[in-house]
Amino acid sequence: MSEQTDVVVIGSGIGGLTAAALLQERGIQTVVFEKNAFPGGSCSSFCRNGYTFDAGASVFYGFSENDRSGTLNLHTKIFRKLGVEVATVPDPVQIHYHLPNGFNVAASYSRQGFLDSLAARFPHEKKGIEAFYRELEDVYEILSALPAGSLEDVVHLISVGGRFPQKTVMLALKTFRSMGKTARKYISDEELLHFIDIESYSWAVQDALSTPLVNAGICLADRHHGGINYPLGGAGSIPDALCRGLEKFGGSIRYRSGVDEILVENGVARGVKLSNGETVHAKAVISNATVWDTYNRLISDSRYRVDEDRFIRAPSWFQMYLGVDARVIPSGFHVHHILVDDWQTYSNLGGTIYFSAPTILAPSLAPPGKHIIHAFVTSETSEWDRYERGGEAYRQAKERYADSLIARTEKILPGLSNAVELRILATPQTHERYLNRYKGSYGALLKPGQNILQKPQNRTPVRNLFAAGDSTFPGQGVIAVTYSGVSCASLVARKLGMPIDYL
């Protein structure tokens, strides 16, 4: 069997869904194929025993109501354009850091409050702190003034450059700078520089020297402007809303429909072959898969193969989803936390604990008198390859590792081990299996010294094949992949002769 459509999107991650919904709203017939029975990829939710857990992402930017926020309130603008709503609640603290030597600091919505808390710890670096975070504000102010569009869309670039010549030049110059080198212009205290590293590592899984300044300006400045907002229905509310928008305008998403192959003829993508043998032809194909899955698994022609070492492959995760007695979480406890035991090992696998308790903001996600805890650390499939998946040894290894994480987490939640009433554990193999991601990876990272514009863009070497998601510019994180979807939709729509109004 075969059929024809305008655009096929492979995978319902946020980048692919965003592109699909915007294209369909423009009148371009689009169909999304998803191997699972739910949308969203790592930004999704699942339910167990009355608890609704976030599968991955839980810190969300982009819901500001400020129309002057430019590219940085994309969720608000997209959902408004689609005519759908996502109810959210503001989170006053992005992350509460628990660091070695008794160093604790909460990155609050109040910018001055946050800077004052750092200056209290490092009074000798007060001027340097102000100067460094001012650099991030400068990036934010530039980005918030520019409309979102593809860097490969010549019409868009000419338009933006003509309307904002000075800001465009300034932004271009800043793309050559890293967060870490910029910090070292103003700051010399080693402990404070470690903190700058963990600020970067918290979302980029790289130290500050490896993180582009432009990316840091988005995540670490916008928390004091648009701020962090949590969807009341959990992370899955975001892909659910995009699906509603897609279907509202006549598009479709087909669940339990994995894509086995991108059909390429003479260097041109013609459509896809599904796992059930069906073929779907299209004028354009958008892959939401990682760069390695797209070129090494979905395309059979070895000429397009991408070596693993072309980029740094981000690690995967060991995740722990807990249902707990609510009494273990004290009054005033923040939602998101990061725990570092030792600066020498924070970037090692398992060295940093990421922690969230979203029911503090959205209590309906758990039964009465209960809370959700989601804790996770970096991991690799190679750490778990020696076990047979589903076997008793595999199960016991997961349980032992979870016990060790809970014990470490009791640093901020004493008595946690006795409060757990439900626990669900996921290894990198789980991510690889459910999300179709190469080795369960968080995506492709730039190598130190690479310019952010060297990140893969939306175009690919295969004509009519485009890409979105965390392997493309600007990178990891929900707001970043949302941007990739917006820019991809803009590029594809112009190619099909139906340009989209810029957000």
**If one looks up domain 2-44+65-86+231-309+445-495 in CATH, what number appears?**
3.50.50.60
Q: Give the model's pLDDT for residue 162.
A: 67
Rounded CA gap, 365 and 59, in Å? 16
Strand partners, 377: 318
In eight-state DSSP terms, residue 41 is T
Section 88-98 average pLDDT: 95
Rounded CA gap, 401 and 122, in Å? 36
Section 202-215 average pLDDT: 85
Task: Answer whether residue 192 shows pLDDT above 70.
Answer: yes
CATH of region 312-438, choose from 3.30.519, 3.90.1280, 3.40.140, 3.40.30: 3.30.519
Rounded CA gap, 269 and 295, in Å? 12
Section 229-237 average pLDDT: 94
**CA nearest 228: which of 54, 476, 354, 62?**
62
Residue type, 400: R
Task: Answer whether residue 487 shows pLDDT above 60.
Answer: yes
Residues whose CB is less than 8 angstroms from the CB of residue 485 and which lie 6 or more positions away in sequence, other chains included: 14, 15, 16, 17, 18, 19, 22, 468
Share of the chain above pLDDT 90, in %: 70
Which H/E stretch holds residue 138?
helix 126-143
Task: Answer whether residue 70 shows pLDDT above 60.
Answer: no
Rounded CA gap, 351 and 451, in Å? 27
Of the pLDDT bands very low, low, confident and very high (cuts 50, 70, 90), residue 1 is low
DSSP string, 361-380: T-GGGS-TTEEEEEEEEEE-
pLDDT tens-digit map of 277-302: 999 999 999 999 999 999 999 999 99
User: Where in the chain do CATH 3.30.519 domains reside?
Assistant: 312-438
Q: Give the model's pLDDT for residue 160.
A: 64
pLDDT tens-digit map of 447-463: 776 667 777 889 999 99
Section 380-399 average pLDDT: 94
Q: Is the separation of the CB atoms in 92 and 109 below 8 Å?
A: yes
Task: Answer whether residue 157 shows pLDDT above 70.
Answer: no
Section 27-40 average pLDDT: 95
Residue 339 φ then ψ, to 5°:
-115, 125
Q: Give the model's pLDDT for residue 154.
A: 67
| Two structure tokens written together for 491 | 């590029």
Task: Answer whether residue 396 shows pLDDT above 80.
Answer: yes
**261, 262, 263, 269 alpha-carbon torsion, rounded to 10°:** 180
What count of other Cβ atoms lies within 10 Å of the Cβ of residue 451?
Answer: 13
User: Where in the chain do CATH 3.50.50.60 domains reside?
Assistant: 2-44+65-86+231-309+445-495
Evaluated on CA atoms 63, 68, 74, 80, the torsion sign reads: positive
Q: Is the separation of the CB atoms in 13 and 288 below 8 Å?
A: yes
Rounded CA gap, 103 and 195, in Å? 9
Q: When comparing pLDDT for 310 and 468, which is higher?
A: 468
Q: Is the separation of the CB atoms in 9 and 30 below 8 Å?
A: yes
Residues whose CB is less than 8 angstroms from the CB of residue 168 and which lie 6 or more positions away in sequence, other chains included: 146, 160, 161
Share of the chain above pLDDT 70, in %: 91
Which runs of E-coded beta strand occur in 250-315?
252-254, 259-265, 268-274, 279-287, 312-313
Rounded CA gap, 69 and 374, in Å? 30
Mean pLDDT across the chain: 90
**333, 98, 481, 402 alpha-carbon torsion, rounded to 10°:** -80
Task: Answer whether residue 271 shows pLDDT above 90.
Answer: yes
Q: Give the model's pLDDT for residue 236.
A: 95
Ranked by mean pLDDT, the top range of 143-147, 157-161, 442-446 is 442-446
Q: Give the model's pLDDT for residue 310.
A: 84
Q: Where are the alpha helices (DSSP H) in 144-271?
A: 154-163, 165-174, 179-186, 190-204, 213-222, 237-248
| Two structure tokens written together for 476 | 């990891």
Of the pLDDT bands very low, low, confident and very high (cuts 50, 70, 90), residue 164 is low
The phi-psi region of residue 469 (left if phi > 0; otherwise alpha if psi is between -120 and 50; otherwise beta) is left
Which runs of E-coded beta strand occur in 342-487?
352-356, 370-379, 420-426, 444-445, 465-467
Q: Is the separation of the CB atoms in 205 and 476 below 8 Å?
A: yes
Section 17-30 average pLDDT: 97
Residue 463 φ then ψ, to 5°:
-60, 140
Q: Is the separation of the CB atoms in 76 and 70 below 8 Å?
A: no
Q: Is the separation of the CB atoms in 421 and 370 below 8 Å?
A: yes
**CA nearest 478: which of 55, 93, 9?**
55
Parallel, antiparallel or unpaired: strands 465-467 and 279-287 = parallel
Q: What number of CA atoms fall less than 13 Å from residue 379's CA on the CB side? A: 26
Residue labelled with tokens 């993180």: 211
Residue labelled with tokens 């190469």: 438
Q: Give the model's pLDDT for residue 492.
A: 96
